[in-house]
């Protein structure tokens, strides 16, 4: 099982290596940035952006979408740990583009007898999803007013980033840095 393999790696020195890599790092991220992206295991955000430990808060979920829990984490990141910039990175070929919220909810209801209380935030076009999430963050009352939000779609095959823009002049949080 994968559990055993991961625990074996930890016992083989992974825990000591992780502790050594984190030694001396401050709790607030050095770049004052939070990055939201998909949980897709093909995306190594540290390699993608040339990041080091301690530089950025990395939030991951299915699709890299803004949910209530993402808002909770971003609010804590900003209000308690001094981040000011938010980067959203969703990607082409995402699994959330293969079904709808309603379809998934009905599948679960059929299988387990009840619908979930949460949404999947499924989307067809990652660019549209990023734009909507950026707009949502721009209007969130819990984020600090000077928050800068930028959004991108990652081509999962070439790993090229395409920036997404929201055109809402004077609407609170800034859409670009």
Domains of the chain, earliest start first: 27-164 (3.40.1050.10)
Residue with tokens 């290596």: 17
Strand ranges, E, within 16-167: 33-38, 56-61, 85-91, 148-154, 161-164
The mean pLDDT value for 18-37 works out to 92
pTM above 0.85, yes or no: yes
- Looking at residue 168, its pLDDT comes to 58
Tens digits of residue pLDDT in 100-150: 999 999 999 999 999 999 999 999 999 999 999 999 999 999 999 999 999
- Looking at residue 99, its pLDDT comes to 96
Tell me the three state secondary structure of residue 118.
coil
- Looking at residue 25, its pLDDT comes to 85
Tens digits of residue pLDDT in 33-78: 999 999 999 999 999 999 999 999 999 999 999 999 999 999 999 9
Between CA 63 and CA 74 the distance in angstroms is 17
Contact predicate 56/35, CB 8 Å: yes
Closest CA to 64 of 97, 110, 31: 97
- Looking at residue 176, its pLDDT comes to 45
């Amino acid at each position: 099982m994968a559990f055993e393999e991961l625990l074996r790696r930890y016992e083989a020195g992974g825990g000591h290596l992780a502790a050594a890599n984190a030694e001396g790092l401050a709790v607030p991220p050095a770049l004052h940035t939070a990055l939201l992206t998909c949980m897709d295991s093909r995306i190594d955000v540290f390699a993608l952006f040339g990041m080091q430990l301690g530089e950025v808060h990395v939030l991951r979920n299915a699709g890299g979408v803004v949910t209530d829990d993402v808002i909770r984490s971003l609010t804590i990141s900003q209000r308690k740990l001094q981040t000011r910039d938010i980067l959203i990175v969703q990607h082409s070929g995402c699994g959330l583009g293969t079904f709808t919220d309603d379809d998934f909810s009905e599948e679960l209801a059929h299988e387990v007898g009840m619908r979930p209380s949460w949404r999947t935030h499924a989307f067809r076009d990652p660019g549209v999803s990023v734009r909507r999430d950026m707009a949502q963050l721009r209007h969130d009352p819990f984020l600090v007013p000077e928050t800068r939000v930028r959004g991108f779609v990652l081509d999962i095959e070439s790993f090229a980033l395409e920036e997404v823009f929201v055109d809402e002049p004077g609407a609170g949080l800034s859409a670009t840095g």
